[in-house]
Structure 1
Amino acid sequence: MIADIDLGHGLRLRTLTTCDVDLVVEATGTETSQALWGPRPSGPYTPWEAREALDAWDPAAGRQASYGMLKHGRLLGALGLMIDGPHSAELAYWVRPESRRQGLALRGINALTRWTHDELALDRIWLEIDPANTPSLRLADRAGYRYEQRLPHHCRAWTASDPDHDTWHDCLIWAHTSLTTSPAT
């Protein structure tokens, strides 16, 4: 699941590793919301939290990896890819606050979606989106993803450390299917 993709104009999408702790800490330094792609979404990350997140996204395990969008050695955003079966994967994304609304997420999602279909031969890639997250809903549509279903109380809000004491909200599932690979059976 190692990728290095040229997105043009000096922007690269590449696999993040534990060597990228400092990049993650710097990139998340101005984050005020729980909008990160790590195993426990929070912001900003401390060096320990960044290492923990990058360890959890270790591509050597083969089930999930994190990909950074970098320009001139600066992390502008990240995407997470979590394989959930032989034919599908969930994609998550985050862009640093000052780099939002510049088309970076769309470029990253389009590139990683194409790469996942072509290189990993996965038929279906899906997003979980909070129904109240209008920018993400528009982004999913612009990236060619299609609405599939609403899952009631499926997504965790991460307002409490214990899942039993946390709140949960509905999630909308949007999916992209490959036209070049055979359908999942």
Structure 2
Amino acid sequence: MIADIDLGKGLRLRTLTAHDVALVVEATGAETAHALWGPRPAGPYTPRDARAALNAWDPDAGRQASYGLLKNDRLLGALGLMIDGPHSAELAYWVRPESRRQGLALRGINALTCWTHDELGLDRIWLEINPVNTPSLRLADRAGYQYEQRLPHHCRTWTNPDPEHDTWHDCMIWAHTNSTTPPPI
């Protein structure tokens, strides 16, 4: 699941590895909300947090990987790909606060969606989106994803480290299939 995709204008999408700890720490430094990476998805990250997260997203394991959106070796955002079966994967994304609203997530989602269909041969890529996250709902639509369903109390809010005492919110599932019109890169 190693990728290195030139997106033009100095932007590239490449697999993040354990060697990218400093990039993750710097990129999440101003983050006050939940970031992309686990095991507990919240920023900002210390070097220890970043190392643990990148190790958890080890692309050599073959089930999940994290891809960085980089410009001039600066991490502007990241996408996570989690394979959940022989034909499908979940896609997640995050863009650093000062780089939002510049089309970076759309470019990254479109490129990784095409790559996942073409290179990995997966038929279905899907997103889980909080129903109150209007920008992400618009982004899913602009990226050519189709609304499928709403899952009640499906996604964890991560306000409590214990899942039994945490709160959960609904998630909207949006999917892109090989039969869907390919997103523009």
Under TM normalisation by the shorter chain, which class is it?
A: over 0.9
Alignment match, 2:78: 78
Alignment match, 2:95: 95
Instruction: Indicate conservation of the 8 Å contact 2:36/2:79, yes or no.
Output: no
SS in 2 for 1:98: helix
For 2:135 and 2:35, how far apart are their aligned partners in 1? 13
For 2:58 and 2:36, how far apart are their aligned partners in 1? 16
Instruction: Indicate conservation of the 8 Å contact 1:145/1:176, yes or no.
Output: yes
Instruction: Indicate conservation of the 8 Å contact 2:36/2:80, yes or no.
Output: no
Alignment match, 1:33: 33
Identity of aligned residues (%): 84
SS in 1 for 2:98: helix
Alignment of 1:2-21 (within 5 A): 2-21=2-21
Give structure 1 regions of 4+ aligned residues with deviation exceeding 2 angstroms: 35-39
SS in 2 for 1:141: helix
1:133 paired with 2:133, answer yes
Superposed CA deviations along residues 91-115 of structure 1, whole A, max 9, x for unmatched, are: 0000000000000000000000000
Alignment of 1:1-185 (within 5 A): 1-179=1-179
Superposed CA deviations along residues 114-159 of structure 1, whole A, max 9, x for unmatched, are: 0000000000000000000000000000000010000000000000
Shift of 1:11: 0.3
Q: How many residues align?
A: 180
SS in 2 for 1:6: strand
Instruction: Indicate conservation of the 8 Å contact 1:37/1:93, yes or no.
Output: no
Shift of 1:166: 0.2
Alignment match, 2:183: none
Q: Which runs of 5+ in 1 are unaligned?
A: 181-185
Amino acid at match of 1:151: L
Alignment match, 1:183: none
Amino acid at match of 2:170: D
TM-score (norm 2): 0.96
Amino acid at match of 1:68: G
Q: Which runs of 5+ in 2 are unaligned?
A: 181-185
Shift of 1:37: 3.3
Amino acid at match of 1:102: Q
Shift of 1:40: 1.5
Amino acid at match of 2:95: V
For 1:35 and 1:44, how far apart are their aligned partners in 2? 8
